[in-house]
């Protein structure tokens, strides 16, 4: 499904040549007015190693570059059995993101905009992208790593294929990127967040990481999340759960309380707050919190009522 095949490259050489000529006349993608003002004219991510991409191994090679840049020592050969999908002659996006999590990094998918792509490069984050170098009818899937841009020259810089620091037109890149629905991802250590992501998108990515790596590994990510979005109730709720699992009950209670302040209708936060307060010996506060949880209709109401009855 996701493949970069030498045989197909030969078979479609004429088609690709035509596509390259046509894309040279395409209009370069536009940035939003905010990005136009905020982003510098050019940016380049230093310290990203290059690994030549052999047949069907553009996924492992691209991921090794991104992980190495984030401080993970892993080779292409180590990643191949984690990513290569038999019968598909390549790597698919879920396996790419799962492999990042297995190496103690968080995989954050981007929204597919050039605002997001260039913002991450400006922040020093190499971006793994998926392209279709052929036509939709005969896809030629290929992973690459975007490491730089020059807005004035309308160019991107990529580690791609067998060529490091490959310079390509923004419009030509966009034509191939669009055929993958503009899929892109950054791999970051817990505690670092992408520049171009929403609070809910970050919450989902960190939760997926926590399910693989555990609550202690995810704790710095939840702390970074509430620091950036202090009004996001679910971020405080998730932080409270992680702190509770780590044995820090008072800090967990404080986080649950913040969640209820941001969203008083979040019954699960009231329930967990009450149970945590009970564990701290704060009986009256626990009763008050559990009563709030029991007053809110939904799946947590019965559990709150049961907890009240057990006092």
Tens-place pLDDT, residues 21-44: 444 455 678 899 999 999 999 999
Residue 66 has which token pair? 């991104």
How far apart CA 135 and CA 141 sit, in angstroms, is 10
Q: Does 48 score more than 80 pLDDT?
A: yes
Per the CB < 8 A criterion, the answer to whether 268 and 300 are in contact is yes
pLDDT at 7: 33
The stretches of the chain forming alpha helices (DSSP H) are 6-11, 13-23, 33-38, 58-69, 76-83, 93-102, 114-122, 170-178, 199-213, 215-228, 233-245, 249-262, 267-279, 283-294, 301-309
pLDDT range class, residue 75, cuts 50, 70, 90: very high
Q: Which CATH number fits domain 199-309: 1.10.357.10, 1.25.40.10, 1.20.1440.230, 1.10.3720.10?
A: 1.25.40.10
How far apart CA 84 and CA 246 sit, in angstroms, is 35
How far apart CA 66 and CA 52 sit, in angstroms, is 14
How far apart CA 55 and CA 53 sit, in angstroms, is 7
Q: Does 18 score more than 50 pLDDT?
A: no
Q: What residues form DSSP beta bridges with 148?
A: 44, 157
Extents of the domains making up the chain: 6-188, 199-309
- Look over the chain and give the mean of its residue pLDDT values, rounded to a whole number: 89
Q: Does 15 score more than 80 pLDDT?
A: no
DSSP letters, 194-215, are: -SS--HHHHHHHHHHHHHHH-H
pLDDT at 26: 59
CATH of region 6-188: 3.90.70.10
How far apart CA 85 and CA 68 sit, in angstroms, is 22
Please state the φ and ψ torsions of residue 83, each to the nearest 5 degrees: -115, -30
Neighbours of 176 (CB within 10 A): 22
pLDDT range class, residue 10, cuts 50, 70, 90: very low
Digit-coded pLDDT (tens) for 207-223: 999 999 999 999 999 99
Question: In 3D, which of 187, 159, 164 has the Cα closest to residue 71?
Answer: 187
How far apart CA 205 and CA 224 sit, in angstroms, is 13
Residue 285 has which token pair? 């506060």
How far apart CA 255 and CA 239 sit, in angstroms, is 6
Question: In 3D, which of 189, 261, 263 has the Cα closest to residue 219?
Answer: 189
Q: Is 170 exposed, middle or buried (0-12, 13-18, 19+ CB in 10 A)?
A: buried
Lowest-pLDDT range, 69-83, 222-236, 268-282? Answer: 69-83
Q: Is 220 exposed, middle or buried (0-12, 13-18, 19+ CB in 10 A)?
A: middle
Digit-coded pLDDT (tens) for 143-181: 999 999 999 999 999 999 899 999 999 999 999 999 999
pTM: 0.86
pLDDT range class, residue 194, cuts 50, 70, 90: very high
Please state the φ and ψ torsions of residue 238, each to the nearest 5 degrees: -65, -40
How far apart CA 97 and CA 14 sit, in angstroms, is 34
How far apart CA 206 and CA 169 sit, in angstroms, is 34
Digit-coded pLDDT (tens) for 89-146: 556 889 999 999 999 999 999 999 999 999 999 999 999 999 998 877 777 889 999 9
Q: Does 294 score more than 70 pLDDT?
A: yes
């Amino acid at each position: 499904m996701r493949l970069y095949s030498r045989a197909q490259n030969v078979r479609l050489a004429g088609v690709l040549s035509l596509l390259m000529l046509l894309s040279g006349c395409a209009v370069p993608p536009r940035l939003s007015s905010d990005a136009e003002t905020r982003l510098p004219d050019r940016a380049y991510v230093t310290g990203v190693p290059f690994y030549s991409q052999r047949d069907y191994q553009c996924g492992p090679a691209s991921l090794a570059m991104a992980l190495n840049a984030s401080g993970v020592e892993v080779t292409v050969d180590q990643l191949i059995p984690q990513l290569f999908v038999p019968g598909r002659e390549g790597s698919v996006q879920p396996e790419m993101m799962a492999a990042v999590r297995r190496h103690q990094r968080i995989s954050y998918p981007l929204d597919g905009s050039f605002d997001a792509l260039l913002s991450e490069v400006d922040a020093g984050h190499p971006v793994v992208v998926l392209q279709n170098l052929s036509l939709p009818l005969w896809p030629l899937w290929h992973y690459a790593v975007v490491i730089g841009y020059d807005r004035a020259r309308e160019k991107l810089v990529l580690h791609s294929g067998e060529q490091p620091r490959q310079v390509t037109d923004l419009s030509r890149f966009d034509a191939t990127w669009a055929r993958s629905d503009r899929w892109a991802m950054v791999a970051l250590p817990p505690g670092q967040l992408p520049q171009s992501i929403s609070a809910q998108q970050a919450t989902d990515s960190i939760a997926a990481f926590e399910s693989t790596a555990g609550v202690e590994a995810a704790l710095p990510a939840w702390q970074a999340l509430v620091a950036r979005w202090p009004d996001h109730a679910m971020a405080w709720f998730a932080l409270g759960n992680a702190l509770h699992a780590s044995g820090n009950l008072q800090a967990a209670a404080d986080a649950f309380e913040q969640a209820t302040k941001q969203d008083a209708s979040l019954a699960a936060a009231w329930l967990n707050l009450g149970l945590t307060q009970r564990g701290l010996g704060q009986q009256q506060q626990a009763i008050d919190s559990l009563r709030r949880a029991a007053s809110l209709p939904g799946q947590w109401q019965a559990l709150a009522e049961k907890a009240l009855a057990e006092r």
